Amino acid sequence: MSLKNRINVVRKQATKSVTKKLLKQQSISLFNPDEIKRVLITRPNHRLGNQLLIMPLIKEVHLQFPEAKIDLYLKGNLGKVLFENYEYIDKIIRLPKQHFKELGRYLNSWFSLRQHSYDLVINAEASSSSGRLSTKVARAKHKFFGYEREMKLFDAADVAHISKYPIYSLRYFLKQSLVEKSLPDLELKMTGKELGQGKQLLATYADSNKPTICLYTFATGKKCFSKVWWNHLYLALKKEYPDHNIIEALPVENVSSLDFKIPAFYSKNIRELASFISQTSLFITGDCGIMHLAAATNTPTIGLFNVTVKAMYEPYNVACLGIDTNQKSAEDICQILRTSTEKLNFSTPII
């Protein structure tokens, strides 16, 4: 392990230790939600999936406090791309990804938390030590650091999900019913122009008169299925859905577990990729950030899980499905798709 990585490990352990006690907090009652005019939501993590998965929480906060402007404290450059059409988001305070290379900007982003006074600060992920620390540093009348899952303070059918737990936690913190209202959906908020561009892009890769199944065969580490596995699934899908286009969306690495044997779309522009996915009928992928991007486009999305916990990370929206692939063949997966047609609303998208 390099010296920089060792320092990073020590830094994370120290921060977690120092901020652990911040989780001990009491619920509050806000008799007048209109008194909340400015909210900060903090999620200083640069990963695509983690930033996408705070979208339902952001929408929940907007529904709870419709007059409030919302600021975000995020890491990296994705925030301004993902949230550009969220009109009630005011500022995005950006923590640089590379702390040591951009030390000045890194320190400045922390100091900037003190420049504004908030009515409420919300740590989107209780287990994040950086989230706890940024909540502590920010100036606010009310602060919600989150509840760690092992505290088991409340229960709901889908409380294990990484994106739903913070919403239930906030409702518990505000002394509200957990289930009286439905949870907000995961939404990228694409424009009509973007959807139209996606339709045009798809038409160059697939027959517009047929529904399209899109595969994304890349994931990191052990979450990535082998080329042999993906080829078996592709052949099974081809047999099960002979009247469908089957295409592939490629990662930024421009690699294919199907060795480019089917039409493959490539784009480094995350919103362009999303617009393309939005016009497909079904998106199938392993557990990765692009899985959550697909779900955020309101495309029926299948998440394939072999090592991570399905209940915690499966695609968020109603017309989505997580499948534990352990001890399941490609044919078994097709059988699950066949019996889940109604849930997935598997049809040609309409702009």
Q: What is the DSSP string of 5-30?
A: HHHHHHHHHHHHHHHGGGG-------
CB atoms within 10 A of CB 247: 18
Question: How much is the pLDDT for 1?
Answer: 60
**Domain annotation covers residue 349:** no
Phi then psi for residue 317, to 5 deg, are: -75, 170
- 30 lies in which domain range? 3-173
My answer on whether 94 and 11 are in the same domain is: yes
First-to-final CA distance of the chain: 50
The whole-chain average pLDDT of the chain stands at 91
Contacts of 58 (CB under 8 A, 6+ apart): 41, 70, 72, 83, 86, 89
Tell me: do 151 and 198 sit in the same domain: no
Does a structural domain hold residue 185? Answer: no
Q: What average pLDDT score do residues 68-72 get? A: 97
* Residue 328 in domain: yes
Residue 179 lies in a domain: no
Helices (H) and strands (E) in the chain, counts: 14, 11
Per residue in 266-312, pLDDT (tens digit) is: 999 999 999 999 999 999 999 999 999 999 999 999 999 999 999 99
Residue 182: DSSP 8-state: P
Is 58 within the bounds of a domain? yes
**CA pair distance 286, 291, nearest whole angstrom:** 7
Are 311 and 257 in the same domain? Answer: yes
Contact 138/123 with Cβ under 8 angstroms?
A: no
Question: How many domains would you assign to the chain?
Answer: 2
Q: Which of 212-216, 325-329, 339-343 has the lowest mean pLDDT?
A: 339-343
Does residue 34 have a pLDDT over 90? no
